[in-house]
């Protein structure tokens, strides 16, 4: 009885303490990222006794509601989407904020109260009237290269990019067609007094880095956003599109990845085309040919319908890929609806390659690479080229598959057959032939027997070649029989 009384008394004292420290209001924390870049984080909280509600607002990624909010020992504890876990401890007029992530080290910082008006959307910059930005004549076949995000995230820096460039050349990947070296998010610093964007401390001289790449026969890619900040919270191009395009041209940039993210705070769904058109027009007038890649895959955006009109050469058709079979499979095998929108200078982008990052088997990576080649997708490697296995290099430099991806006709494959976990995808080629992919989506080996009509052919082919075995086959009169391992693929080229 005495224990129950003390427990009840302790609970009352705890709730009284919680109520005494009312967390209601808008709080601002400062997170420091690599390159000495400071990112604001806002906590908009409403407390009623022991109940806490509200949202977390980051200019980079928009607003996320509090999940599972409760109090532990006087600390406010809650989660948000994307694997972020918060703990707030009152320290006088401020809050000690701890943020744990599933993908990066823990942040600890202090938050102070600020006026609610501090998180208002930025002043609106008038959008251009909708018009057609002329085709820039670039990317007549799907772009090939390397991007920093999948493997390095915000740890990417000047030295790593140079080492990757050297590995791209020494490994033979550059000779196989991989030429664009793209620095994804987190290179951005602040703007100077004239508004010109500067790189942060990780990239001391962007012009020199561009020269380094060009001197090796490579091309220079960079990243920005139509919002005030990028996905990772760094400086975006909002209101500075023409200025940034000229700066990129001065640095020798050849490729721009333009990621939507925080632009959703400023623009409505129906304004996306105009917002992306503004950068497309800026690139067209910057004095340098720059491939324009849109990374905008929010629900309802339908970017493949309007992307070409903004001057874009490629556009994302899916959310971010991750290095596992389930996500790769869901993305890759759901690209069939976008086939009509692919062609020279305009490509559907199912996101970057994960080949070699360790989350799938070599058999699964072969399927990943085969499917992307049949889809006429951009081939943008995302692994650490400095330490890849012979198997990874062999997959990424399969020139017969690359030739399918780079076929000048520019047609994307369509699904011909789906039966009991076996799928057949066919891609017409400029020489009148066809590339045929046989995919086993099951966890068991498949022994398949397919007639030529099931493979999209009216009669046995004149020539038949296995593009992974690199050997010519004799075509049987009645069809093609094969043994396909679990999650495996066979790609044939027929005439």
Rounded Cα distance, 380 and 358, in Å? 17
Distances (CA, A) of 337 to 348, 412, 413: 10, 10, 10
Q: What pLDDT is recorded for position 447?
A: 95
Torsion sign (Cα): 405, 410, 415, 417: negative
* Phi–psi pair at 273, nearest 5 degrees: -60, -45
Q: From 58, 359, 64, 367, select the one nearest 228 (Cα to Cα).
A: 58
- Any idea which residues carry the catalytic annotation? 259, 320
Rounded Cα distance, 281 and 310, in Å? 8
Mark residue 347 as left, alpha or beta (left: phi above 0; alpha: psi -120 to 50; beta: remaining). beta
Q: From 7, 47, 45, 52, select the one nearest 26 (Cα to Cα).
A: 45
Specify the residue for token string 């399927």: 367
Helix (H, G, I), strand (E, B) or coil at 28: strand
Q: What pLDDT is recorded for position 271?
A: 93
Burial of 362 per CB tally in 10 Å (0-12, 13-18, 19+): middle
All domains of the chain in start order, with CATH: 15-117 (2.40.128.20), 144-405 (3.20.20.70), 414-494 (2.60.40.1180)
Q: What pLDDT is recorded for position 61?
A: 56
Tens digits of pLDDT across the chain (495 residues): 334 333 333 333 333 343 447 899 899 898 887 766 777 888 999 998 889 999 898 765 567 899 999 999 889 999 988 788 999 999 988 999 999 987 778 999 999 888 776 677 677 789 999 999 999 999 999 999 999 999 999 899 999 999 999 999 999 999 999 999 999 999 999 999 999 999 999 999 999 999 999 999 999 999 999 998 888 878 999 999 999 999 999 999 999 999 998 787 788 889 999 999 999 999 999 999 999 999 987 777 899 999 999 999 999 999 899 999 999 999 999 999 999 999 999 999 999 999 999 999 999 999 999 999 999 999 999 999 999 999 999 999 999 999 999 999 999 999 999 999 999 999 999 999 999 999 999 999 999 999 999 999 999 999 999 999 999 999 999 999 999 999 999 999 999
Q: What pLDDT is recorded for position 62?
A: 64
Q: What pLDDT is recorded for position 7?
A: 37
pLDDT digits (tens, 9 = 90+) for 52-72: 999 898 765 567 899 999 999
Q: What is the C-alpha R_g of the chain?
A: 26
Helix (H, G, I), strand (E, B) or coil at 224: strand
Rounded Cα distance, 388 and 384, in Å? 6
């Amino acid at each position: 009885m005495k224990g129950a009384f003390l427990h009840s008394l302790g609970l009352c004292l705890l709730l009284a303490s919680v109520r005494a420290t009312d967390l209601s209001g808008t709080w601002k924390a400062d997170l420091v990222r690599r390159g000495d870049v400071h990112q604001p984080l806002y906590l908009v909280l409403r407390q009623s006794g022991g109940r806490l509600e509200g949202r977390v607002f980051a200019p980079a990624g928009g607003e996320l509601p509090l999940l599972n909010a409760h109090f532990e020992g006087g600390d406010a504890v809650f989660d948000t989407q994307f694997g972020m876990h918060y703990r707030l401890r009152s320290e006088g007029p401020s809050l000690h904020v701890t943020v744990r992530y599933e993908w990066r080290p823990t942040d600890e910082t202090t938050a102070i109260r600020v006026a609610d008006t501090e998180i208002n959307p930025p002043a609106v910059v008038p959008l251009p009237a909708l018009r057609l930005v002329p085709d820039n004549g670039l990317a007549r076949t799907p772009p090939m290269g390397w991007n920093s995000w999948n493997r390095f995230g915000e740890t990417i820096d000047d030295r790593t990019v140079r080492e990757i460039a050297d590995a791209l050349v020494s490994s033979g990947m550059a000779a196989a067609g991989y030429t664009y070296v793209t620095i994804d998010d987190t290179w951005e610093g602040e703007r100077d007094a004239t508004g010109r964007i500067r790189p942060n401390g990780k990239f001391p001289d962007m012009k020199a880095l561009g020269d380094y790449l060009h001197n090796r026969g490579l091309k220079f890619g960079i990243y920005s956003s139509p919002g005030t900040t990028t996905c990772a919270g760094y400086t975006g191009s909002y209101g500075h599109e023409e200025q940034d395009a000229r700066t990129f041209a001065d640095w020798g940039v050849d490729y721009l990845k333009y990621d939507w993210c925080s632009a959703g705070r400023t623009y409505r769904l129906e304004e996306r085309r105009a917002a992306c058109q503004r950068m497309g027009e800026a690139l067209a007038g910057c004095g340098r040919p720059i491939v324009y890649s849109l990374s905008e895959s929010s629900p309802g955006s339908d970017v493949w319908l309007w992307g070409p009109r903004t001057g874009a050469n490629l556009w994302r058709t899916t959310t971010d890929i991750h290095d596992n079979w389930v996500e790769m499979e869901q993305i890759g095998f759901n690209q069939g609806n976008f086939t009509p929108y692919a062609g020279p200078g305009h490509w559907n982008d199912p996101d970057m390659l994960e080949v070699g990052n360790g989350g799938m088997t070599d058999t699964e990576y072969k399927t990943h690479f085969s499917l992307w080649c049949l889809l006429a997708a951009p081939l943008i490697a995302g692994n650490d080229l400095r330490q890849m296995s012979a198997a990874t290099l062999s997959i990424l430099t399969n020139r017969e598959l690359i030739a399918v991806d780079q076929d000048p006709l520019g047609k994307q494959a369509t699904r011909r057959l789906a039966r009991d976990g076996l799928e057949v995808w066919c891609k017409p080629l400029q020489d009148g032939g066809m590339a045929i992919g046989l995919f086993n989506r099951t966890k068991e080996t498949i022994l398949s027997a397919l007639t030529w009509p099931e493979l999209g052919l009216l009669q046995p082919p004149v020539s038949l070649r296995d593009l992974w075995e690199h050997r010519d086959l004799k075509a049987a009169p009645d069809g093609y029989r094969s043994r396909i391992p679990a999650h495996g693929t066979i790609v044939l080229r027929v005439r």
